[in-house]
Amino acid sequence: MYKKSILWIQGITCNGNTQSFLNFPRLEIFTKQYKFLYHPYLESTLDINEALNYKEKIDFLIIEGAISKEFVRAGEIFYEKVKLLCKNAKYILAVGTCATYGGIFKEKDPKNITGVVYNKEESNGFLSEFRKKVFNLPGCPAHPEWIVYTIETLSAKGKLKVDEFSRPKEIYGYLTHHGCTRNEYFEWKVDTKNFGEKEGCLFYIQGCRAPITHGSCNKILWNEVSSKTRSGSPCFGCTESSFPRKNMFETKTFMSIPADLPTGVSKRAYLTVTGIAKTFHIKRLKEKLI
């Protein structure tokens, strides 16, 4: 039986997506269904230099990490090699925020480092000529279920619905906020008094970006158990082109309301609801849960 091939190659990266992928609970079965021409950790058909110089058709080219024209991978200029791989690939998955927009490693030299298609939010990344077959899976790192879902759907259906950044809608149609265990505090505008507490919302003071960030972190839980916001950490907005932002543990405010409002909510709507919510002092929400 023909097994679809996957070639996973890395630009400027920390290996976070590779390691995240190893958390996929059904990986053994997955590796039996697909052929890994190259994976940075798992056993593969090719070695790294053969992979970089591979000239045959590839079903799925996975690119992890940011792109620069000078970056050297295993002794070879990565950019020169990856272009041919892109040409020969049926689908390209830009996995992680660095591959999608440039991410953290773009900060080193913003003019000369981009994502595959995107350069922050602009679509002039160094490999943007291949944009038609690129699917972006931002996240620092991307969740393994997001990666497998994309491969499986493309394998079975040949297409999937994407948003304006070519992110699969079934993953990025949600906001990280959806499913957060602190939602009720958000509804009633009750902020958390401090880090290290179960109660309260992290949106008002601690810098949480969940209502402004596309992703399924609170629907498809991390490591199948939790998420940043559930555990008490603000969402840093890592699936968006603005990541990494400045002062990430702090909410920027304007006239004492968050400067960035929930996606798609007008200032008027937000202020009206907030004004009303705040006039009610709900005792239960001010008390400890336990």
Please state whether 31 falls in left (phi above 0), alpha (psi between -120 and 50) or beta: alpha
CB of 180 to another protein, least distance (A): 11
Query: In this complex, which beta carbon is closest to another protein, that of residue 25 or of residue 275?
Result: 25
Q: How many CB atoms lie within 10 A of CB 257?
A: 14
Residue 160-199 contact track with another protein, rule CB under 8 A, x = bound: ----------------------------------xxxxx-
The yes or no reply on residue 49 touching another protein (CB under 8 A) is yes
User: Which member of 4, 34, 35, 48 binds another protein (CB under 8 A)?
Assistant: 48
The yes or no reply on residue 233 touching another protein (CB under 8 A) is yes
- Which range in 125-133, 164-172, 223-231, 251-259 contacts another protein by CB under 8 A? 223-231
User: Which member of 220, 248, 257, 277 binds another protein (CB under 8 A)?
Assistant: 248
For 40, 165, 233, the CA distances from 9, given in Å and listed in that order, are: 7, 21, 31
Task: Give the contacts of 216 (CB within 8 A, at least 6 positions apart).
Answer: 143, 146, 171, 172, 174, 176, 178
- Which range in 11-19, 116-124, 153-161, 263-271 contacts another protein by CB under 8 A? 11-19
Query: In this complex, which beta carbon is closest to another protein, that of residue 44 or of residue 166?
Result: 44
Q: What is the C-alpha separation between 284 and 21, in angstroms, rounded?
A: 41
The yes or no reply on residue 74 touching another protein (CB under 8 A) is yes
DSSP 235: P
The yes or no reply on residue 111 touching another protein (CB under 8 A) is no
Contact 64, 11 (CB under 8 A): yes
CB of 144 to another protein, least distance (A): 10
Contact 178, 215 (CB under 8 A): no
- In 146-167, which positions are buried (b, 16+ CB within 10 angstroms) versus exposed (e)? bbbbbbebbeeeeebebeebbb
Termini Cα distance of the chain = 56
- Which range in 5-13, 119-127, 147-155, 271-279 contacts another protein by CB under 8 A? 5-13
Q: What is the C-alpha separation between 89 and 59, in angstroms, rounded?
A: 6
Query: In this complex, which beta carbon is closest to another protein, that of residue 105 or of residue 185?
Result: 105
- Which range in 69-77, 117-125, 129-137, 165-173 contacts another protein by CB under 8 A? 69-77
Contact 92, 132 (CB under 8 A): no
What is the contact surface with another protein in residues (CB under 8 A)? 10, 12-20, 22-23, 25, 27-28, 40-43, 47-49, 71-75, 104-105, 107-109, 140-141, 194-198, 217, 222-233, 236, 244, 246-250, 290
